Each structure stands twice: as structure tokens, then as C-alpha cells.
Structure 1
Amino acid sequence: MKKLAPSIGSRVLIVDDNRDTADTTAMLLRMHGYDVAVAYDGRSALLKAKGYDPDVVLLDLSLPDIDGCAVAESMRKDGLDRAALIAVSGHGPDDEAWAHPCFSDHLVKPVAKDDLVSLLARVRPEKSCPS
């Protein structure tokens, strides 16, 4: 496995209600040198983001309590402006959530590990949500 060096300060928050997916992704990213936190629902993600201050958020769009797009909007309203928000969904690019302005990138489940690591190596926070 080729190990890519993460950007300095690469803190990744993984938000996914599928615990196996979230935990496996966290383990993979830790093996690549990322500092990782995990939340399994939208409310927990909002709380964790405030204290963790991630550089990147991998955000499942289909959460049981709060829609992923609403979580992204709340994160932006709560002042998480610098983090890159990446939508993760089982739906393809024809899903209207892909056009949501909060997300800098999108990944389709199941996410290939090489695609994820490659994206994280080049992602830069720059998107914001309309107020």
C-alpha cells in the first residue's frame, strides 16, 4: 500500500450512520497519517465538529436524524468555514444533493480507498454555503 503524506493539520471528521463503514474508513485514514474523528449521526457530527475543528468532513448524505445537506449548512452557520465538506452518498451524480453549494467534492459509495486517499491529498477547503 502506497502511503501518501497528509497535508499538515489534516484532521478528518467522518460522519456516517453505518458504523462499520465509518470505523473502517477511520482506520484506513489513520494508517495514512490522518488525525480522524467519527460521528454516527448528524447531531453528534455538529457537536464533534465544534470541538474537533476538522480540515475535512466526509459527510454521508443519508443520516437517520438530520439530512447531510442540513448538517453541512449548520456546520457553515456554526462557523466551520475553513473545512472542506465532501458529500458521500450511495446515489450518483444525478442526485440533486450533488449540486449543493456547501460541498467541494462528492464520493459515491462504496468509496474506493485509493480514490479517497487521493482526494484527501489534494482537497482544499474553499466552498461556503449561501446564507
Structure 2
Amino acid sequence: MALDSPTETRAPRVLVADDNRDAADSLSLLLSMLDCEVRTAYDGAQAIAIAREFRPSLILLDLCMPVLDGLSAARVLRAEPAGQGLALVAVTALATEADKAAVKAAGFDAHLPKPLDLDSLRPYLRVERAPLPA
């Protein structure tokens, strides 16, 4: 079957970015077990560099990271042409209304609180997604 066949689905390409290495590696492993193609970054600058090369369809980005925080990384990613077509999801323990407003202003598609619930993540793992939930 050809790669471009409409009946064949490709694995979602997911970038996980979190400075907590255990959390990032665990989530990456879980996503790999769900047939995703995954890369992992441990700070915002590394996430941008990997995203430019890897071209993920989804980035799960922590907000509180060294070198470059998640809000700043999101702004950089959204400013690039490739950043327009990807799903950008904040995965963070920061959950006040001000945090949610900052996430939206930075260009994220969604805010998912930690600890991450796998069911809340599933809609973002579809290669051909319907509109993202609010």
C-alpha cells in the first residue's frame, strides 16, 4: 500500500517538552506505546530546535522550563510558518485563570493540567483532527 493511500494512517508526530526528565521520558514512552513517533526536549530552546527539524503535528509543552519557558517557546513556534499547522498544548500545573489567559495569548490550542489524564490527551493524537476542544 502506498504511503499516500487514504486508507493508511500515519503515526502522529509528537514532541514532548518538559524539564522534569522523568515526566517527559514517561510521557514519551507512553506515546510511543500508542504508536506515536515521539521526540523529547528538556527546555524551551531545545523544543524549538527539535520542532524545526522533526516537524511534529503536536507539541506538548510545559510552561516552567529553563533556558526558554513554554510561553516564550510557543510564541516563537507560532511565529514560524510551520507553527501555524500544528497543535500546541500546554501541559502544566499552572492552572489559575491568569495562567490560562497567558496560555491562550501565547498561541496554545489548549491547556491540560498536570497530572495529565490520558483521556484528555487522546483528541490531540489524531492525525486528521476535528477542531480542537476548548
Both structures adopt the same fold (TM-score exceeding 0.5): yes
Going from structure 1 to structure 2, the CA distance change for 1:110 and 1:123 (only over 3 Å counts) comes to: farther
TM-score, length basis structure 2: 0.79
In angstroms, what is the RMSD of aligned CA positions?
A: 2.4
- From the CA coordinates, give the structure whose radius of gyration is larger: 2
**1:69-96 per-position Cα deviation (integer Å, ceiling 9, x unaligned):** 1101111223222111001110115123
Q: Which of residues 63, 66, 69 is equivalent to 2:65? A: 63
The answer on whether the counterparts of 2:57 and 2:127 sit within 8 Å (CA) in structure 1 is: no
1:120 counterpart = 2:125: yes
Structure 2 unaligned spans of 5+: 1-8
Structure 1 unaligned spans of 5+: 1-6
User: How far apart, CA to CA, are the structure 2 residues paired with 1:91 and 1:40?
Assistant: 18
Structure with bigger helix share is 2
What letter is aligned with 2:14? Answer: V
The answer on whether the counterparts of 1:83 and 1:125 sit within 8 Å (CA) in structure 2 is: no
Q: Which of residues 24, 46, 49 is equivalent to 1:47? A: 49
**1:81-129 per-position Cα deviation (integer Å, ceiling 9, x unaligned):** 21110011101151232332511111101102232234434884989xx
User: How far apart, CA to CA, are the structure 2 residues paired with 1:122 and 1:104?
Assistant: 15
| Map of 1:108 onto structure 2 | 113
How many aligned residue pairs are there? 121
Going from structure 1 to structure 2, the CA distance change for 1:122 and 1:100 (only over 3 Å counts) comes to: farther
TM-score, length basis structure 1: 0.80
**1:12-37 per-position Cα deviation (integer Å, ceiling 9, x unaligned):** 00010000000000110111111000
| Map of 1:84 onto structure 2 | 87
Q: Which of residues 13, 20, 23 is equivalent to 1:21? A: 23
Give the % identical residues: 37
